[in-house]
Structure 1
Amino acid sequence: MGGFPTRRLLLAAGAALAVASASSAQDRRMTAYKTPWCGCCDGWVAHMRAAGWTVQVVELEDLAPIRARHGVPDRYAGCHTAVVAGYAIEGHVPAADVERLLRTRPTAAALAAPGMPAGSPGMEAAGREPYVTVLIDRTGRATVFGRHNGA
């Protein structure tokens, strides 16, 4: 009978691990909205998938309503908008920045790499240039979140 409590503890630990694994897998899912004709968006999706994300792609001809619904002002627009855990991810944001955003959970609407910076994930063929990612609050104001040198 000495093994019974141990078995119960192992079963409880296994159940907790299963819940944690399901939660982790769920945290690594996002939806990316892009236009049908944008190849660099496909490059960004490939970057996110290579980093372990499950990305559902939805193609639309006009992304402005998606950006507006998720609090991304037009001045910070990129060529695609992803949504994960209540945040918009606008443009070619590196996976490491998305992961830091979800780890720190700041009060914000979005994380963006405005425009299409050369050297950002999906834009490697355009060369290299330093760029920033910005955290956009719910009033539309942005602050620098990350600094990058390009691929």
Structure 2
Amino acid sequence: MTRLMLMLVLFVSTGAAIAAPVQARLYHNPGCICCEQYADYLNAKGYDVDVLDTDDMAALNEKHGVKPALSSCHTTLIGDYVVVGHVPEPVVAKLLREEPDIRGIALPGMPSGSPGMPGKKSESFVIKTLNGDVYTTY
């Protein structure tokens, strides 16, 4: 049912279709600025992000099948997927569009130049599935 809700389209009186914003819940440690910047980044890309504080990211990640080696400063639930870390939005859009049979994806750590993080991107980001396999590079 969740994927169906993501795909709902609103019709305006002119008959033009407007896609409803994709709902997301971003969990992070209270006060983490880069997490809030990542939420702002997704909001600017058309997502509707709720930012929720948690004092136990490890327990949240364990609940959603995120191994410690794949963790980051925040975990986002989008549709039926778990998105860990500062994953670029085009990769999130690809995940939602292609609907692969995986639990989620992760960009481990907090790489410089990734969305919400300062600094310059110095190499391709390797986004992994929650099983540790490479999902894509960006």
TM > 0.5 fold call: yes
Q: Which residue of 2 aligns with 1:73?
A: 67
Q: Which residue of 2 aligns with 1:120?
A: 114
Q: Count residues in correspondence.
A: 124
Tell me, yes or no, if structure 1 residue 52 matches structure 2 residue 46.
yes
Partner deviation per Cα, 1:97-141 (whole Å, 9 max, x = no partner): 111001111111111110001110001x233222211122xxxx2
User: How large is the Cα RMSD of the aligned pairs?
Assistant: 1.7
Unmatched 5+ stretches in structure 2: 1-7, 12-17
Where is the strand percentage greater, Structure 1 or Structure 2? Answer: 2
Partner deviation per Cα, 1:36-81 (whole Å, 9 max, x = no partner): 1211111111110010000011111221111111111111001000
Unmatched 5+ stretches in structure 1: 1-18
Q: Which residue of 2 aligns with 1:142?
A: 132
Q: Which residue of 1 aligns with 2:10?
A: 21
Q: 1:3-14 to 2 correspondence within 5 Å?
A: none
Whether the aligned pair in 2 keeps the contact of 1:70 and 1:87 (CA below 8 Å) is no
Q: Which amino acid aligns with 2:20?
A: A
Q: Which amino acid aligns with 1:147?
A: T
Give the Cα–Cα distance (whole angstroms) in 1 for the partners of residues 76 and 91 of structure 2: 13
How far 1:93 moved relative to its partner? 0.5
Give the Cα–Cα distance (whole angstroms) in 1 for the partners of residues 122 and 57 of structure 2: 26
Give the Cα–Cα distance (whole angstroms) in 1 for the partners of residues 37 and 104 of structure 2: 20
Q: 1:94-109 to 2 correspondence within 5 Å?
A: 94-109=88-103
Runs of 4+ in 1 over 3 A off after TM superposition: none
Structure 1 length-normalised TM: 0.76
Q: Which amino acid aligns with 2:121?
A: R
Where is the helix percentage greater, Structure 1 or Structure 2? Answer: 1
Give the Cα–Cα distance (whole angstroms) in 1 for the partners of residues 86 and 20 of structure 2: 22
Whether the aligned pair in 2 keeps the contact of 1:119 and 1:127 (CA below 8 Å) is yes
Partner-residue secondary structure (3-state), 1:126 = coil
Give the Cα–Cα distance (whole angstroms) in 1 for the partners of residues 82 and 65 of structure 2: 8
Match of 2:57 among 51, 63, 68: 63
Structure 2 length-normalised TM: 0.82
Q: Which amino acid aligns with 1:49?
A: N
Tell me, yes or no, if structure 1 residue 32 matches structure 2 residue 21.
no
- Give the share of equivalent positions with the same residue, in percent: 32
Give the Cα–Cα distance (whole angstroms) in 2 for the partners of residues 146 and 117 of structure 1: 16
